[in-house]
Amino acid sequence: MQPITRDRDHFDGAPGTDAAASELDVTGLLGTWVNCNVNSCGIVRADIAYITGRGHALALRPYGGTEGGLIPWGSAPAAVLSDDVSSLRAIGLTASFDQGFQRVLVVGYLNRGHLSFETATIFTDGSARAPYLTRHHFYRLPR
């Protein structure tokens, strides 16, 4: 059986196209992003910024929301992703958070000017709560 592949995922070795050897353009991800759903119980805001002193490395700082205001999750380094092996433009990121009682993997990607976050949550506190997956859509605040 032949493996299923996409032609664009095969690096042709052309000079200047090796994304692994160059910095991805992350400017499309930078900024403060706000959940389009004002009633969300998940991530309601997220800041994506450079990590000071680490070149183009990014950090994700999400916030949950309650009636009392924002709840910071802390900051985590984000692995930046392009949409194929030769692209130099970042279109997504991943970061993980261990909050003691739960572990959350966050995958974000740009989609028509918005940022979508999918979160996979696994509880580690011995409770009977089921692991779950969510998707939220965000708009960027003006810079």
CA atoms within 13 A on the CB side of 141: 11
Q: What is the pLDDT of residue 11?
A: 47
Q: What is the pLDDT of residue 17?
A: 38
- Residue carrying the six token digits 């409770």: 127
- In angstroms, the CA 109 to CA 115 distance is 6
Q: What is the pLDDT of residue 41?
A: 85
Q: What is the pLDDT of residue 90?
A: 95
Q: Domain limits of the chain?
A: 24-140
Q: Tell me which CATH code domain 24-140 carries.
A: 2.40.128
Q: What is the pLDDT of residue 7?
A: 54
Residues of the chain with pLDDT under 70: 1-22
Q: What is the pLDDT of residue 56?
A: 75
